[in-house]
Amino acid sequence: MAEKTSPPKSVPQKPALPPAGERIAKVLSRAGVASRREAERMIELGEVSVNGAVITSPALNVTPADKILVRGKAIAEAEPARLWLYYKPEGLVTSASDEKGRETVFDNLPEELPRVMSIGRLDLNSEGLLLLTNDGGLKRRLELPSTGWLRKYRVRVNGNPMDPDLEPLRKGIEVDGERFQPMQVAIDRIQGANAWLTVGLREGKNREIRRAMAAINLTVNRLIRISYGPFRLGEMTAGMVEEVKPRVLREQLGEGGGKDAGDAPARARPTRSLQRDAKMAAERSAAIQAGASEREFIRKPRPTSAARPAAGAKPRPTAPKGGPKRG
């Protein structure tokens, strides 16, 4: 009588390991060849080869051992992430090329700069702080909505709004079926037929400030971005470029770059919540509307270490007015 045999037990399969290396479009972006999207387009056009074979799909991982050519030339080694502050002048398009033949930001950058990409955009008629980087990964991280960095703008509008007129922007407004998040809005000063406002927001929808102002019957005739998270325009003038020092970049973004640094300024200073900022902005606007001088709200600069007396030191005597008396 034949013995019954039990079916062989199935051996659990180990999950397949992910392929070694990184996606080729990411490697090309890190090497400064192009943005990841542009690199994918170059691959599809057959402009990239790996180990002597032309590839037409970006679904490929590569390692440092692979030989990568772009249009027949070897790519450079990946550089450390770098960041620049650029004062974008009005009238430049924030794109690598323009189908209408208009001048772009990249047409006007200093020649000594490496290939860079913009972090976010400023529209044609806006000016001010634009961040530039040579690193595609850093660009993507800082553009993510989850980063939540506050962007501040000086905005000149045609009209003399009162503080209550701006309340819809502080609460969040819907324009053409699109919901905008609450904004910080303060009236800085009235100047003839115009008013200067300071506006802060944490998202970057297309022409958001201009559309929101139009919804409350105000026309923007000048818009300047003055800060992006911890980075500020400061005393820069149109067309200027300044590189952020590596140490500052590490402090603000972390070793890997692009980590959420909240709204901590580049020069350490206690942070304030969005609600407190909005409350202070509203109080300031109301006071200015009531006739208070704008100078009352300007923080006086702290004395430098050279000018500040040491603890316990006696004050130095000052010379009498009019200079020393002659005998």
Which residues are designated catalytic? 123
Element at 131 (helix H, strand E): strand 127-133
Element at 243 (helix H, strand E): strand 241-243
Asked if 285 and 164 count as a contact pair (C-beta separation under 8 A), the reply is no
Q: Which residues contact 311 (CB under 8 A, 6 or more apart)?
A: none
Q: Phi and psi (nearest 5°) for 186?
A: -135, 140
Asked if 151 and 108 count as a contact pair (C-beta separation under 8 A), the reply is no
Q: Can you list the alpha helix ranges (DSSP code H) found in the chain?
A: 24-30, 36-44, 136-143, 167-171, 208-215, 246-253, 274-289
Among 216, 134, 219, CA closest to 183: 216
CA 200 to chain CA centroid, Å, is 13
What tokens does 44 get? 């599809």
What letter would DSSP give residue 88? Answer: E
Torsion of CA 46, 50, 52, 55, to 10 degrees: -30
